[in-house]
Amino acid sequence: MNNEAKAFYKDLRNVVQPMAIQNLISAAVNSADVIMLGYIGQTAIAASSLAGNVAFILFMISTGLSSGLVMLGAQYWGKKDTESIKTLLGIGLRICCTVEIIVALIAAFYPRILMLIFTQDETLITEGCKYLRAASFSYVCLSFSQMFQAGFKSIERVKIVTITSTTSLFLNIGLNAVFIFGLFGVPKMGITGVGIATSIARFIEMVICFIYAGRQKDVRFSITCIFRRNAVLTRDFFRYSLPAVGNELVWGAAFAMYSVIMGHLGEDIVAANSVVNTVRQLGSVLCFGMAYGGAIVLGKYMGAGDMDVAERNASRLARVTILSGVLGAVLLLCLYPVLPFIADLNETATHYRNVLLFINAVSLIGASINTVLICGIFRAGGDSKFGFVADSINMWAVSVPLGLIAAFVLKLPPLWVYFVLYLDEFEKMPFVIRHYFKKGWLRNITRDLNT
C-alpha cells in the first residue's frame, strides 16, 4: 500500500469510525424501541412504524440539505475558507427550520391528516396520532441539530457529532423505558411515551450542538449564522442542495409509499417489516457510514484541486464500501436466531418476517453499491442531480407503479408485493455504474469570494 492510499484510508477511518458508531447506536436504540413496544402489542409496533414515516421524510429533507452543506462545506474546508462555511450553515438553517416547523405544527394539532396518508385502519390511526402529537416538538429540534452536525462534518469534526447523537440516543432509550413501563413512579404512557422520549432526547441533542459550537475558537458556528447572507453562495446552495433534497425526498417518499402499500395489506406485514428494518439498520451501519463519510474526504481533495488523487481515492472508497455491504448482508443473516427476541409476532407475521430478512440481505448489497456512488462519490463533486433523476425515474416510474399493480390489480400475496418493491436497487444499478465511469462528478465547485 503506497503513502497516498495510507493517507486516504487514515482520513476515511477518522471520519467514518465515529459515524459508524453513531449509526450503530442509533440502530441499537431503534431495536430497543421495537422490543419495548412489543410488550404493549403488535398494534403499537405497526402504528409507531407508520407514524414514524413522518419523521423519516423530514429526516430525508434535512439529510438532503445537510448533504448540500457538506458538499460545499467540505470543498471550502479543503480551500480553508471558513467564512463561506458559516454562511452556508445559515442558509441551510433558514430553509430546514421553516419546513420542519410547519410539519411539527400539523403533527401537533392535526395528526390525523398525516396518519391517513399511510393507513385507513382506525386502530392504527388512533395510536399513531398519539405518537405524532408527542413527537412533534422533536421535528423542530431535529432541524437545528442536523444542520449544525452537517457543519461539524464538513470541517471534519465528526467526533462531536457522534458524542451528541450517542448522548441523545441513550437518553431516548432510557426515557422510553421509563415512559413505556412506568418506572420511578411515572405513569405508563405506552406509545405516547415513546414520542415524549424522542422529543426530550432531540432537545438535549440540539442544546449540546449549540454549546459545542459556541466553544470552538477556529470555526465558531452559532445561531447568528442564520442571519448571514451571500447571493452567490445562496445560489450555489440551492443548485447543489435542492437536487440532494429532491433525491432524499423522492427516495424517502417512495419508501413511505412502500409503507402505504403494505399498510393496506394488513398489520402482519407492517409489523414484520418493522422488525426486519430494525436489524437491517444494524447490517447497514458500516457501508452507509463509508459512503457518507467518504463524501467528506473526497470533497476535501477536490476543493484543494487534487483531482487525480480524488479519482483514485474514489475507486478505493467504492471497493471498501461494497465489501462492507457484503459483510453487512452476512451479519443480517447471522441475526436470524435473534429475531424472535425482538418482538412477539403472531404466526403469519413471523413467517413474513423470516422471508423479509433474506430479501433485505440481498437488497443491502445493492444498496451499498448505489449509495457509495450516488451519495458518496457523486455528491463529493457536487453531482447531486444524477441521483435525483435516477431515483425519480426508478422509484416512481418503475418500483412504486409495479408495487401498486402487484398489490391492488394482480392482488398478489404480501410477500410477492414486498419482493417486487425491493427490486429497486438492482433496477437502477446499471445506470449508476455507467455514470461513475463517465467521471462527470469529478469537479471543484468552490468560488473565490469574500463573505
User: Is 86 within the bounds of a domain?
Assistant: yes
Averaged over 145-157, what is the pLDDT?
A: 85
99, three cell numbers:
419546513
User: Is 449 within the bounds of a domain?
Assistant: no
Measure the CA–CA gap between 257 and 420, rounded to whole angstroms.
Answer: 13
Question: CA 222, 226, 228, 233: dihedral to nearest 10 degrees?
Answer: 110
The domain in which residue 183 lies consists of 3-438
Round the average pLDDT of the chain to a whole number and report it.
83
Report whether pLDDT(323) > 80.
yes
User: Is 357 within the bounds of a domain?
Assistant: yes
391, three cell numbers:
431515483
Query: CB of 37 within 8 A of CB of 48?
Result: yes
Which range, 26-35, 38-47, 234-243, is most confident? 234-243
217, three cell numbers:
475558537
Query: CB of 16 within 8 A of CB of 156?
Result: no
Total number of domains constituting the chain: 1
- The rounded radius of gyration (Å) of the Cα atoms in the chain is 21
Encode pLDDT of 110-141 as tens digits.
888 888 877 777 777 887 888 888 888 888 88
Averaged over 432-439, what is the pLDDT?
A: 92
What pLDDT, on the 0 to 100 scale, is given for residue 361? 92
Averaged over 163-170, what is the pLDDT?
A: 82
User: Is 54 within the bounds of a domain?
Assistant: yes
Measure the CA–CA gap between 115 and 320, rounded to whole angstroms.
Answer: 40
User: Is 450 within the bounds of a domain?
Assistant: no
Measure the CA–CA gap between 449 and 451, rounded to whole angstroms.
Answer: 6
Chain centroid to CA 287: how far? Answer: 13
DSSP one-letter code for 296: H
219 phi, psi to nearest 5 deg: -130, 95
Quickly list H helices, 216-346.
231-263, 267-283, 285-303, 307-334, 339-342
User: Is 446 within the bounds of a domain?
Assistant: no
Report whether pLDDT(451) > 60.
no
Nearest 5°: the CA angle 138, 139, 140 is 90
Q: What percent of the chain has pLDDT over 70?
A: 94
What pLDDT, on the 0 to 100 scale, is given for residue 22? 66
What pLDDT, on the 0 to 100 scale, is given for residue 326? 93
Higher-pLDDT residue of 406, 26: 406
Q: Which residue matches cell numbers 418493491? A: 421
Chain centroid to CA 138: how far? Answer: 16
Question: How would residue 436 be classed by pLDDT, with cut points 50, 70 and 90?
Answer: very high
The packing angle between helices 3-38 and 267-283, to 10°, is: 150
What pLDDT, on the 0 to 100 scale, is given for residue 60? 76
Report whether pLDDT(381) > 80.
yes
User: Is 299 within the bounds of a domain?
Assistant: yes
Question: How would residue 339 be classed by pLDDT, with cut points 50, 70 and 90?
Answer: confident
Measure the CA–CA gap between 353 and 264, rounded to whole angstroms.
Answer: 17
What pLDDT, on the 0 to 100 scale, is given for residue 143? 85
Encode pLDDT of 14-29 as tens digits.
877 777 776 666 656 5
Question: How would residue 207 be classed by pLDDT, with cut points 50, 70 and 90?
Answer: very high
Q: What percent of the chain has pLDDT over 90?
A: 14
Report whether pLDDT(369) > 90.
yes
User: Is 443 within the bounds of a domain?
Assistant: no
Which of 133-147, 182-196, 308-322 comes out lowest in average pLDDT? 182-196
What pLDDT, on the 0 to 100 scale, is given for residue 364? 92
Question: How would residue 437 be classed by pLDDT, with cut points 50, 70 and 90?
Answer: very high
Which of 6-10, 118-122, 230-234, 358-362 comes out lowest in average pLDDT? 118-122
